[in-house]
Structure 1
Amino acid sequence: MDAHKGLALEVAALSDVGCKRSNNEDSFGYDQASEIYVVCDGMGGASGGEIASAAAVAEVIRSFSESPGDGATAEERLYDAIVNANARVLELAQADARLQGMGTTLVTACFDARRIVIANVGDSRAYFLRHGACHQITFDHSFLAEQVRNGTMTEEAAKASPLQSLITRAVGTGESISPDLFDAELEPGDMVLLTTDGLTRYADAPEIAQVVGNAADLQEVCARLIDVAKQAGAVDNVTCLLLRAVEVAGNTAAA
């Protein structure tokens, strides 16, 4: 990990096929040199979901890492990377009839000085953890979440609905893309979780906070979160990427 104005990010990630699926359509990736982190949950016939999610992860990392840092904000670089990922997934779908209609959700984070900048499309989520509390950062782009937000459905009814997988925005399903962006100032010990709905169907923010606790080993925490979903049946793939801000000694110039 690299020093960055007194803070650096530790990272761990894990993905599991779950209890019902035979293939994993989730993908994750990161580049600590560029401080970019991505989780995607693909959808599509045949192997389309796997291809869409992997392509989106790779393109966001490539695009963000290669974008010039001078003159562009972290939000602008992240937005442009998602636009490029959308174009890449759409290009792949249009080039192969078997992949038409494929797409993917996306949640991504980049580290900018002492800020974390988050963007999402679809229902993969980001959570912010501080001092034992956990808060959902992102808003789901899904039919059920939008019904709850506009007051036409209760959360209890949404949880019982068979329409859990019906999303209203995705990467690669249209020419345009409209990600949401968020940011937060980080303090040492803060954590950010990027995860797919394979976990969030079974664990809400307080339950995530309880599982994470004060654990020292981030990889172990990812495994424990996945176990929560699997113990509940895990009908979908489950992916967790966990970041933790840590203090680092400042760099000193050589004499």
Structure 2
Amino acid sequence: MASVSGAATATDQGPVRESNQDAALVEGILFAVSDGFGPGGEHASRIALEVLAAGFAAAPDRSGLIGAVREANDQVFAHVSASGTSSGATLTAVAMFGDAEGGPMVINIGDSPLNRIRDGVMRQLTDDHSVSGELVRTGEITREEARYHPHRHLLTRALGIGPYIRPDLFDLDCRPGDRLLISSDGLFAGAEDAEIAAAAAADAEPQTAAQRLVQVANDAGGSDNTTVIVIDIG
């Protein structure tokens, strides 16, 4: 049975952006990052995680998590519609259910990646729901080319851009010794994968690793907000 032995989060506006539109949630077995976009992005991400937390607290199981994500979209979409802005938010959530509940689960929409570090190797477990992400999956561009693609920020799926959503949902493959990173895409905006993996190395405590990761993103230009949750599996 996989369980959490330690977790920490860190966030930073970065030197370029005028506000921090990211939000993070660490509550019991639920871990989530939401990255807002558009004029009301900071409100969209905050609403998304508040609704997610409340919905999951009321029904802390798999169906409850799915329902909470759908309710988060409803509330973000209502806010966006009322404000008349072109805004929304990504959402990537990990619920560390026990074996009796089917094991750990991931649900995500947008391009806030979940990465796993195992035996020193970092691997992205989620798909980016973006134009550049789709091009990577079809083999038209490489992952490295996607980092600088002119449409890398154009999302194909997100909370708040319509009344219906199609999030990805999958069982999380994790085992003792793994380290998980949930982050906003700002972590990867300028820093190389090798730099990120080194900053997140397992020899550092989760809080130290989280702070290192934010610093790596800022040192690489900090063109976006950066938020990260570091989760150790014991």
Fold shared per TM-score above 0.5: yes
Cross-structure match for 2:37: 43
Which string of whole-angstrom CA distances, capped at 9 and with x for unpartnered residues, describes residues 30-86 of structure 1? 211xx11110110121xx0000000001111111111164xxxx2x33221110100
Larger Rg: 1
Q: Tell me the distance in 1 between the aligned counterparts of 2:165 and 2:121.
A: 32
Instruction: Please give the alpha-carbon distance, in whole angstroms, between the structure 2 residues aligned to 1:7 and 1:161.
Output: 37
Task: Specify every segment of 5 or more residues in structure 2 that has no aligned partner in the other structure, as ranges.
Answer: none
Q: Normalised by the size of structure 1, how large is the TM-score?
A: 0.84
The correspondence of residues 199-238 of structure 1 with structure 2, limited to 5 A, is 199-238=187-226
Partner letter of residue 126 of structure 2?
Answer: T
Residue identity opposite 1:57 in structure 2? L
Does residue 31 in structure 1 map to residue 27 in structure 2?
yes
1:94 aligns with 2:61: no
CA distance in 2, matches of 1:240, 1:141: 19
State the identity as a percent.
35
| Structure 1 residues 1-255: aligned runs within 5 Å | 7-32=3-28, 35-45=29-39, 48-67=40-59, 69=61, 74=62, 76-97=63-84, 100-113=85-98, 115-246=103-234
Contact 1:37 1:61 (8 Å CA) reproduced: no
The DSSP-based 3-state class of the residue aligned with 1:165 is coil
Q: 1:216 to 1:105 in 2, by over 3 A?
A: same
CA contact (8 A) 2:14 2:226 kept: yes
Q: Kindly tell me: are residues 93 and 201 of structure 1, through their superposed partners in 2, closer, same or farther at Cα, counting changes over 3 Å?
A: same
Q: TM-score, normalised by structure 2?
A: 0.91
- Deviation, structure 1 residue 184: 2.6
Contact 1:137/1:182 (8 A) holds in 2: no
Q: Report the alpha carbon displacement of residue 156 of structure 1 after superposing the two structures with TM.
A: 4.5
Change (3 A) 1:155 1:125: closer
1-structure distance, mates of 2:98, 2:172:
11
Q: CA deviation at 1:211?
A: 1.7
Q: Indicate if the aligned counterparts of 1:191 and 1:245 stay in contact, CA closer than 8 A.
A: yes
CA contact (8 A) 2:90 2:109 kept: yes
Pairwise CA RMSD of aligned residues?
Answer: 1.9
Q: Cα offset for 1:164?
A: 2.2
How many residues were matched structurally?
231
Q: Runs of 5+ in structure 1 lacking a partner?
A: 247-255
Q: Separation in 2 of the partners of 1:147 and 1:188?
A: 34
Which whole-Å deviations, capped at 9, do the CAs of 1:82-106 have from their partners, x for residues lacking one? 1010001011122333xx3210011
